[in-house]
Amino acid sequence: MRLLARVIFCFFLAPIFFAIFFLALPADILADGEFQTDYDVNYKVDEGGKTEVIQTITLENKTANYYADRFELKIGSIKVEDVQAEDGIGAIDPQVKFEENVSTIALKLNERVIGLGKKVTINLTYSSAELATKSGQIWEVSIPRLAKSPDLNNYSAEMTVPISFGPVAFAVPEPKTHAETAKTQIFTFDKDQLTSSGISMSFGQNQVFEFTLDYFLENSNLTSATDEITLPPDNNYQKIVLSKIEPAPENITVDEDGNFIASYRLGPKSQTAIVAKGYVEVFSKPFRNIETKLTDDEKEKYLQPQSYWETDSAQIKEKAQELQTPQEIYKFVVDYLKYSDERLNLAKIERLGALAAMNKPNNAVCMEFTDLFIAISRAAGIPAKEIVGFAYTQNTRLRPLSFTAQGDLLHAWPAYWDDEKGWIQVDPTWGSTSGGLDFFNKMDFNHVTLAQRGLSSTLPYPAGSFKKQADEDKKTVDITFATELPYKTTTPELSLSAPQFAVSGIPLKLRAEVKNIGSTSLIDQILTLESSAFEVKSQNPIPVKILPPYSKLQKTYVLNSPKLLEERSDNVILSFAESQISKPIFVKPFFLFFISLTAILSLIITISLVIISFLIYKKFLARSKR
């Protein structure tokens, strides 16, 4: 019999390395930590995104009792090709297979690692088209993190990418060094960085999508009714240009969750088809903070249990006591749940909820990753909500989509509240399926928000949910890459309704309206009414956090007019977003209105009497002549 000793070091769902050693002894025994491994790895990405991986692996025997004659490399979620290997004696014929989403490279060494301090160097190269991908205007390079192992002594990595990829948009972690040549950018990383988060880098300036969304509304009642659709909103991660919506809605308002809700008035037994077109610029982290800071009462609303968010469950509460920060909750969900590819083959993907995910962790899709994060966060006192939207992916094994809005395949991910930054989006689903890439400290440029749900776990419905029953399988969410945002217009149209004359001493009401007739939202503006003659009793000025395109804001002002007997004129000025409109108002004492009215009535009566007298006199003359 021979003693079996195995040294393992691995990536989380990414490269896993096995070295197996043999010694003639009476029984099979498993031992770890008997060998030390050093890695020097170079990732060379070409202009087309194909990555050549060159690994120099040094294996050192730390005992006199074991030896190695085989080496195995497992690479989760990534397909490899062009595999070549050699040790100090010569070439090695690699055995390569891809099963259950794992690539395995098996090497039978030419030289055995026998004896204390004995070393062997293995040169291994392979290529992959899945480590670097281009999405629209953005290049992404993703190297999954290493798992901690007592056998791993040192690990250094160098990444080389073409200069044509553009500037670094973000890098997690920050490279140890960054150098440039005429054609390449070179970055280096060390073991501590790779065991902490792996490498996630994006190159380019910005990411822009063009969207066409189809909606269908129907009123089957015998009376008129108002119905609503959900449009893509502006938030801290995206900027919306709504270039066209036909037919135009009565108004677009912003609900408590920050959604853009377009309302339509439908006649009895009527239906309407709506088309919304526009563009969205996406950012990988918050590029602004347009969200009003939550009050304590508002935070409490985002801590409540909802359908699928069972924060009152004993299991959820117990786990929430262990996990006190959003990052701890994110890591738990990423590690605990396992993505179920089988559920994607079902005709309809049923949403299970957080508690079901806790009890059956191997049967999760994006909805369960999202629901479990939200439920634990809320139970831990951290406000959280759900984002439903479009997420672009080139590899559904690494970044799957699994939220079905009838015929449209969408994606769901959570967000948690931060008092300084507002709502922070994370994606535990892709954090799990991509081999441990960091979707907590940053997102990517490929997540487009269609709806935000916090006060309810089921409403509002996202685009893709508004269809005829006969067209449930029809695709109504069409989002494609665009090169740049079109010209943006932010044009407010002001109107002010007020009487021309006012009575001094009597309050006056004015009606103001602001319409956004531009294609982008007006953000952080002030609506102000100015008057030298009147005291504005209503709230003034009025802060307007966001006014979406095609929307209107109506306000009624109450003004106290001058003293009872005072007579004067005034120009009331309404201001909003560098636009102004004025309205002249003349203020008079009440008796001037009375005198004027009396004079007019007297004149009318006098003229009437003259006419009547003339007619009587004329009639009298006619009779006299007879």
pTM exceeds cut of 0.85:
no
pLDDT digits (tens, 9 = 90+) for 408-438: 889 999 999 999 999 999 999 999 988 778 8
10 Å CB burial of residue 254 (0-12, 13-18, 19+) is middle
CA distance 297 to 300: 5
pLDDT score, position 18: 37
pLDDT digits (tens, 9 = 90+) for 3-62: 333 333 333 333 333 333 333 232 233 345 688 889 999 999 999 999 999 999 998 988
Mean pLDDT for the chain? 87
- Spatial strand order of the sheet with 492-497 comes to 492-497, 508-516, 552-560, 535-536
CA distance 333 to 336: 5
CA distance 508 to 617: 50
Pick from 175, 171, 145: nearest CA to 158:
175
CA distance 335 to 343: 19
* 529 phi and psi angles, rounded to 5 deg: -115, 125
The DSSP H or E segment spanning 433 is: helix 428-433
pLDDT score, position 10: 37
* 387 phi and psi angles, rounded to 5 deg: -115, 130
Single-letter amino acid code for the residue at 237:
Y
pLDDT digits (tens, 9 = 90+) for 494-547: 999 988 777 777 888 899 999 999 999 999 999 999 988 888 999 999 999 999
- Mean pLDDT in runs of 10 for the chain (626 residues)? 35 36 31 77 95 93 84 79 94 90 87 86 93 90 77 90 92 91 95 80 90 97 96 96 96 97 97 97 90 93 98 97 96 96 84 97 97 98 98 87 83 96 96 85 93 98 93 91 82 88 80 95 95 88 95 93 72 93 80 53 76 77 67
pLDDT score, position 75: 74
Contact between 529 and 548 (Cβ < 8 Å): no
CA distance 233 to 263: 15
Q: In 3-state terms, what secondary structure has residue 544?
A: strand
List the structure tokens of 224. 């008129």
pLDDT score, position 611: 85
The DSSP H or E segment spanning 75 is: strand 68-76
Q: Which residue has the tokens 């003359």?
A: 621
Single-letter amino acid code for the residue at 72:
E
pLDDT score, position 320: 97
How much of the chain is in helix, strand and coil states, percent to nearest 5?
15, 45, 40
End-to-end CA distance of the chain: 157
CA distance 217 to 586: 48
pLDDT digits (tens, 9 = 90+) for 151-171: 888 989 999 999 999 999 888
CA distance 416 to 376: 11
pLDDT score, position 26: 28
Name 267's Cβ contacts closer than 8 Å, sequence gap at least 6: 219, 224
pLDDT score, position 454: 98
Q: Which residue has the tokens 């991509």?
A: 434
Contact between 422 and 286 (Cβ < 8 Å): yes
CA distance 13 to 332: 15
If you ran DSSP here, which 8-state letter would residue 250 be given?
S
List the structure tokens of 370. 């999202």
Q: In 3-state terms, what secondary structure has residue 333?
A: helix
Q: Which residues of 198-210 are buried (b: 16+ CB within 10 A; e: fewer)?
A: bbbbbbbebbbbb
The DSSP H or E segment spanning 273 is: strand 270-282
